[in-house]
């Protein structure tokens, strides 16, 4: 059985808006050269690889690109 508690791992106290931080976050998450778009490109290209070793390399690279996104 699952018990869901809606609680942040680290409390976030937002006192004001910060346009500079918003631009930084957009560049990391949604820009054309962002970590997310690079990860999606690698993980999508792996499906066209005929060699299993090449698929494995693209999977490793794609998941490594996702790591900075998850831990920022």
Residue 18 lies in a domain: no
16 HSE (CA, 13 A, CB side): 3
- In a domain, residue 44? The reply is yes
In a domain, 42, yes or no: yes
Tell whether 12 is covered by a domain.
no
* Residue 19 falls inside a structural domain: no
- How many distinct structural domains can be found in the chain? 1
**Above 70 in pLDDT, residue 4?**
no
In a domain, 48, yes or no: yes
pLDDT in tens, 17-51: 889 888 877 777 777 778 888 888 999 999 898 98
For residue 55, tell me if it sits in a domain: yes
Chain-centroid distance, C-alpha 53: 24
Q: Which residues of 32-46 are buried (b: 16+ CB within 10 A; e: fewer)?
A: eebbeebbeebbeeb
Q: Whole-model pTM above 0.85?
A: no
Domain that holds residue 58: 34-72
């Amino acid at each position: 059985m699952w018990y869901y508690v809606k609680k942040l791992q680290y409390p976030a106290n937002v006192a004001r808006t910060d346009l500079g931080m918003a631009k930084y976050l957009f560049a990391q998450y949604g820009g054309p050269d962002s970590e997310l778009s690079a990860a999606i490109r690698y993980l999508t290209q792996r499906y066209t690889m005929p060699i299993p070793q090449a698929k494995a390399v693209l999977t490793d690279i794609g998941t490594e690109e996702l790591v900075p996104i998850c831990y920022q």
